[in-house]
Chains A and B, each alone.
Chain A
């Protein structure tokens, strides 16, 4: 895999966008702003997926994450409504912040060492065989057939997981009055 020409430009634009959004997310004072930054990060990642020819996953990312999870976050922000962090004097970070920085620094060093050592073990990218490139991407078709053949059992288990998640969240979030009414 090699991105060339305009694709490099898109890579840089999306990478900087995603990283800026991610850093703004963990520094945001308002939870609503954080949700919007999360949305930006997810849309940027979907763009990177498109760059990597994963069209179906990019679409699923937009639909499920941006359309579902972020909206859920915004609803919970509305229900919880904590405004104390908006005042400038409130602490945003816990007292473990220094430990977190040390840990992330150690991770960075480990990753740099690993990449310097192992990147040569990754075989260099070669041009894909000619004649396989089609005008229309086959990605969605291949994901669909894999999902219904090799990954059929996990697919069914995922539906069960989602059912349990729906019921569990209703049980967790109901009030005492509702419990007494329905028991």
Chain B
């Protein structure tokens, strides 16, 4: 019994170490990108401060950018595509994110001037 447990544990550890040192492909970047996305979604849905919510939106957009870049690299290494349109998409996402941040923070300043708060559960004028 003890021998079996030790054997199982060592095999698990060795497989784990093997996985750690294995070459990293597109799936590893997908997992990382998903974790970043999940943290961003958690921030957007649960924080009270509107500023932090905006920063979490930037996190989400960054996760999407990471996916684009990883897949471009993957398909290029496969030799399926030669041009890197994924990079172009990322540049446009960065542009749109900058525009979104500017407008959102402008709204935030106007809101703070009127209500003296940035906590979203105190901004309930449109709530029924």
List the interface of chain A (C-beta within 8 A of B): 1-4, 7-8, 11-12, 15, 18-19, 22-23, 25-26, 28, 31, 34-35, 38, 41-42, 45, 48-49, 52-54, 56-57, 60-61, 64-65, 68-69, 72-73, 76-77, 79-80, 82, 85, 91-97, 99-101, 103-104, 107-108, 111, 115, 119, 122-123, 125-126, 128-129, 139, 142-143, 146-147, 150-151, 154, 158, 161-162, 164-166, 168-173, 175
Contact = CB atoms under 8 A, between A and B. Distances in A.
Interface string B65-102: 11001101110111100011101101110111111011
Contacts of A97: 45-46
B28 interface: yes
Interface residues of B, number: 75
B29 to A, nearest CB: 8
B49 A162 contact: no
Given A64-B98, A73-B55, A77-B51, A8 B39 contact: no
B38 to A, nearest CB: 5
Contact of A56 (B21, B54, B87): B87
Contacts of B98: 64-65, 68-69, 162, 165
Contacts of B43: 25-26
Nearest to A77: B51
8 contacts: A49-B69, A69-B97, A69-B101, A72-B101, A104-B38, A129-B79, A158-B92, A158-B96
